[in-house]
């Protein structure tokens, strides 16, 4: 094997898939900061500031609000494994790929799972969750806020209220909403919310922000068995992030430099302004896609501003179109996941990627790629509709 | 809370603790490379190259050789949870903090653990492992190559031979050896070896390189129960790193830029040259420490070149000395872990941190801090002995 010089020579992409999103130069620059130790007093200060910034973006007072040393999927596993013991009843909302993943993970931790289902592209009916809770006690209910496979935004509050009436913990997957759409566990009454760094926060992937209510912390304190995963055991991780500073793992230091900077950027923009930007540009994208003659999967009123999932018209080849976008425009959009593979495209407008320029780019690039496949619509229809929506 | 500008203003440290080590500017620069997607063809190429480079540093032909999306501790958990099912017999070598951690993790995964113990600072006796295997069948034996709590380097080969005679898998913790001392799973006959990125490889922390023999892969294929951790399930992770490219998690993309670059630096130096550098400078450090009148914990012949653990003389205050090194010299060394807390210092010479200049720095800084505590030795004794050893 030839081990030549390793300098990376990667294309500069516009990332409009379901994540990662583009990263602000300030965040990239933060990652080039020299290394310090994971127990260095200056690094511990940075951890404290990161916790405070995470409480800000989660709009929470929860003491246990930190970044787990893994990707969003590690966040999901931590949000389940710390609270579930073998035999515990779990109700999972399943209306997409990540609802399925919740079930898969919970079952590996020994939960007895009951599924509350909806078609992929629909929301979970809160009344059905309430009925399931009334039927038989569950320790925990888990739902996805913004389904990354369908672009559906789930109303959380009515589910949280049902959980409170029936004494169940509520776990919310906020992977595709945090930083791009309102996430408010305290206001909702959600106990555990987790996310990732590479979507609405526009930080590289590798950490999982999580926030845990006191009620949920109390549940971990009364476990009969140890948490199955040592690596994701919140009580151990909390002793490192908390006042004790007991060594657990070596923090992904550079990733925390990045997250700290990315969270500062969110704070500087302001949460409301950021949500409005995402909503306004997502509306423009939807107008444009509709003008191109395409259909959005999620029903109006239940669409995630961060991720728009659009149906691929009959006869249009999924991969060929995406390849054209990538090779001709350096533009990435996502294909379908699971049951929707080949049937939808997923267009993310998250964090740094969520800009007016990118809305116009993806609409014109799509129009040109579709035209080549024989798809007919008014010339420039997508872009014109988007500009009108933005006016 | 005031959310001002977030530019990091961190001190520049010389990192001579048990990891992280200092990071080469080329690796830092690689982390500032703009983001691309985790399924981008260019990123998949980078993953392939990273696997090949990892096979090179692990000196292995194992197909399953990749970087897990977590720190070294995630590597340890993956190395156990994928191969252990509830009730399986596991023999663990325990002669330090990380041997204890192996037991803790294995027990959470339902293993029946038998401990082969040695005093902290001694090696595990391979004959004792053989006797334990002969007494009762075990599915798996787990040992630590370089014990990060004691600086002891464990001979692996005789243990691997015992495992082969008794049909047990061998798991090796190479966290503090890979990239700084010979790690050779194929030559040893070890089935699963894992490491971290922030020590001998001088990359930021956040990934866990792992290599798995075909024999061990076959064991995962015949499991009766699913792997308890979905996040660390090697069969799923392998489908993403392998030809299928099935989405599992979003790879920690920037961390992989860094690892790719750090591995290139190892390849450019050459493994043998790198090991020799570590051995030569570690010898000089030991000469210097001895000349200061300090004692090394590990016996001669069983010392890790990457990490020297030195006893704190009676009456010398641990924390005060380490604080002086940090505040006066921006120099980090490690304190003791677990039973050795307050009783030893851990001085790492790993990757970029392993330089002649750093050997001289730590010896003079220690001499001056010790002198202030009334410790007596010949003036400049440590530095002079180190220079002589290097001549």
d(CA A22, CA A1): 33
The neighbouring-strand residues paired with B114 are: B91
pLDDT of residue A135: 97
State how far Cα A316 lies from the chain centre: 28
A12, A20, A250 member nearest B19 (Cβ)? A250
How do residues A29-43 score in pLDDT, each as one tens digit?
999 999 999 999 999
**pTM of this prediction exceeds 0.95:** yes
The residue-averaged pLDDT of A8-27 equals 96
Residue A115: strand pairing partners: A92
Q: What token pair was written down for B197?
A: 């990125």
Count how many residues are written for chain B.
Answer: 391
Rounded CA separation B193/B156 (Å):
11
Q: CB–CB of B311/B343 below 8 Å? A: yes
The residues in A 81-110 lying below 8 A from B, measured between CB atoms, are 81, 101, 104-105, 108-109
pLDDT band (50, 70, 90) for residue A5: low
Neighbours of B315 (CB within 10 A): 8
Contact B263 A6 (CB under 8 A): yes
Q: Say what the pLDDT of residue A243 is.
A: 86
Q: Which CATH number fits domain B271-390: 2.60.40.10, 3.90.1150.10, 1.20.1260.10, 3.40.50.880?
A: 3.90.1150.10
A202 conformational bin, left if phi > 0, alpha if psi -120 to 50, beta if neither: left
* Chains A–B, number of C-beta pairs less than 8 Å apart: 264
- The shortest CB-CB distance from B253 to any of A20, A43, A253 is to A20
Taking a C-beta distance cutoff of 8 angstroms, is the pair B250, A19 a contact? yes
pLDDT at B383: 98
Taking contacts as CB-CB distances below 8 angstroms, the residues of chain A near B149 are none
Split at pLDDT 50, 70, 90, the class of A1 is: very low
Domain ranges in chain B? Answer: 25-267, 271-390
Measured between CA atoms, how close is B388 to chain A, in angstroms? Answer: 31
**Is the separation of the CB atoms in A250 and B196 below 8 Å?**
yes
Kindly state the percentage of chain A with pLDDT values over 90.
96
- Mean pLDDT for the stretch of residues A9-15: 95
Cis before A115? omega within 30? no
Which tokens is A153 given? Answer: 């935004």
Does B8 lie at the interface with A, CB-CB under 8 angstroms? yes
3-state secondary structure B12-78: CCEECCCCCCCCCHHHHHHHCCCCCCCCCHHHHHHHHHHHHHHHHHHCCCCCEEEEECCCHHHHHHH
The span from the CA of B15 to the CA of B350, in Å, is 9
- Distance, CA of B356 to CA of B277 (rounded, Å): 9
pLDDT in tens, B247-275: 999 999 999 999 999 999 999 999 999 99
Cα end-to-end span (Å), chain A: 57
Facing residue for A255 by CB, picked from B4, B101, B206:
B206
A260 touches B at CB < 8 Å: yes
Could you say which DSSP state residue A224 is in? S
**CA angle, A166 then A167 then A170, to 5°:** 100
A308: nearest Cα among A346, A334, A276, A278: A346
User: What integer pLDDT is reported at residue A8 of this predicted model?
Assistant: 83
Interior angle at CA B177, CA B171 and CA B178, nearest 5: 85
Query: Nearest to residue A240, comparing CAs of A50, A60, A72?
Result: A50
Show pLDDT as tens, one digit a residue, over chain B (391 residues). Answer: 444 455 688 999 999 999 999 999 999 999 999 999 999 999 999 999 999 999 999 999 999 999 999 999 999 999 999 999 999 999 999 999 999 999 999 999 999 999 999 999 999 999 999 999 999 999 999 999 999 999 999 999 999 999 999 999 999 999 999 999 999 999 999 999 999 999 999 999 999 999 999 999 999 999 999 999 999 999 999 999 998 899 999 999 999 999 999 999 999 999 999 999 999 999 999 999 999 999 999 999 999 999 999 999 999 999 999 999 999 999 999 999 999 999 999 999 999 999 999 999 999 999 999 999 999 988 999 999 999 999 9
Phi/psi class of residue A142: alpha, beta or left (left: φ > 0; alpha: ψ in -120 to 50)? beta
The domain A25-267 is placed in CATH, from the list 3.40.220.10, 1.10.1740.10, 1.10.3720.10, 3.40.640.10, at: 3.40.640.10
pLDDT single digits (tens) A172-221: 999 999 999 999 999 999 999 999 999 999 999 999 999 999 999 999 99
Contact of A306 with A200, CB cutoff 8 Å: yes
* CA distance linking residue B43 with residue A349, whole number of Å: 21
Around Cβ A68, how many Cβ atoms within 10 Å?
Answer: 24
Name, in order, each residue with C-beta under 8 angstroms of B168's C-beta and a sequence gap of 6 or more: B91, B133, B137, B138, B139, B140, B141
Under DSSP, the state recorded for A298 is S
Measured in angstroms, the CA of B227 and the nearest CA of chain A are apart by: 7
DSSP-H helix ranges across chain A: 25-31, 41-57, 72-81, 97-108, 126-135, 157-165, 185-188, 214-221, 234-241, 253-269, 271-291, 318-329, 356-372, 381-390
Instruction: List CB contacts (< 8 A) between B15 and chain A.
Output: 35-37
* pLDDT tens, residue by residue, A154-183: 999 999 999 999 999 999 999 999 999 999
Nearest to B250 among A20, A42, A109 (CB): A20
3-state secondary structure B242-301: CCCCCCCCCCCHHHHHHHHHHHHHHHHHCHHHHHHHHHHHHHHHHHHHHHCCCCECCCCC
What is chain B's Cα-based Rg? 21
pLDDT per residue as tens digits for the range A339-359:
999 999 999 999 999 999 999
Q: Does B19 touch chain A (CB under 8 A)?
A: yes
Residue with tokens 């430099």: A257
pLDDT tens digits, residue range B366-385? 999 999 999 998 899 999 99
Q: What is the pLDDT of residue B6?
A: 57
- Nearest CA-CA distance, residue A165 and chain B, Å: 31
pLDDT at A71 over 60: yes
Which residues, other chains included, contact A369 with Cβ-Cβ below 8 Å and sequence gap of 6+?
A321, A324, A325, A328
Spacing of C-alpha B358 from chain mean position: 20
Is B231 an 8 Å CB contact of chain A?
yes
Which of the residues A231, A269, A348, A352 would you substitute to probe the B interface, choosing the one with the greatest number of B C-beta atoms within 10 Å?
Answer: A231
pLDDT at A34: 94
The strand pair at B307-311 and B208-212 is best described as unpaired
Instruction: Pull the structure tokens for residue B345.
Output: 């210092």
Bond prior to A47 in cis (omega within 30° of 0)? no
A198 near A205, Cβ under 8 Å? yes
Q: Cα–Cα distance between B362 and B372 in angstroms, integer?
A: 15
Residue A231 contacts residue B77 (beta carbons within 8 Å): yes
């Amino acid at each position: 094997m030839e081990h030549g010089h390793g300098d990376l020579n990667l294309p500069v992409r516009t990332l409009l898939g379901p994540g990662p999103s583009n990263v602000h130069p300030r965040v990239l620059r933060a990652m080039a900061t020299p290394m310090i130790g994971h127990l260095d007093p200056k690094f511990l200060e940075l951890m404290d500031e990161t916790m405070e910034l995470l409480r800000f973006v989660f709009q929470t007072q929860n003491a246990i609000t930190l970044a787990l040393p893994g990707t969003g999927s590690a966040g999901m596993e931590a949000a389940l494994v710390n609270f579930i013991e073998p035999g515990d009843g779990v109700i999972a909302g399943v209306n997409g790929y990540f609802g399925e993943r919740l079930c898969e993970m919970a079952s590996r931790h020994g939960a007895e799972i009951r599924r509350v289902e909806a078609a992929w592209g629909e929301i979970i009916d809160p009344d059905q969750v309430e009925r399931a809770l009334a039927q038989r006690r569950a320790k925990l209910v888990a739902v996805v806020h913004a389904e990354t496979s369908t672009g559906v935004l789930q109303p959380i509050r009515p589910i949280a209220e049902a959980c409170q009436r029936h004494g169940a913990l509520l776990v919310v997957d906020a992977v595709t909403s945090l930083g791009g759409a309102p996430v408010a566990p305290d206001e909702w009454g959600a106990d555990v919310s987790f996310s990732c760094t590479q979507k609405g926060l526009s930080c590289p992937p590798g950490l999982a922000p999580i926030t845990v209510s006191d009620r949920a912390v109390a549940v971990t304190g009364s476990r009969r068995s140890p948490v199955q995963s040592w690596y994701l055991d919140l009580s151990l991780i909390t002793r490192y992030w908390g006042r004790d500073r007991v060594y657990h793992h070596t923090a992904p230091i550079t990733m925390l430099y990045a997250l700290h900077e990315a969270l500062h950027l969110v704070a500087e923009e302001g949460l409301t302004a950021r949500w409005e930007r995402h909503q306004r540009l997502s509306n423009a994208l939807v107008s444009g896609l509709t003008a191109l003659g395409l259909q959005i999967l999620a029903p109006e009123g239940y669409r995630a501003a961060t991720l728009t999932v659009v149906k691929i018209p009959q006869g249009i080849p999924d991969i060929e179109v995406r390849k054209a976008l990538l090779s001709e425009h350096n533009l990435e959009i996502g294909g379908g996941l699971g049951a929707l593979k080949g049937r939808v495209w997923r267009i993310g407008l998250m964090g740094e990627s969520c800009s007016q320029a990118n809305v116009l780019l993806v609409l014109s690039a799509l129009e040109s790629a579709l035209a080549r496949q024989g798809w007919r619509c008014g010339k420039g229809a997508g872009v014109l509709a988007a500009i009108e929506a933005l006016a």
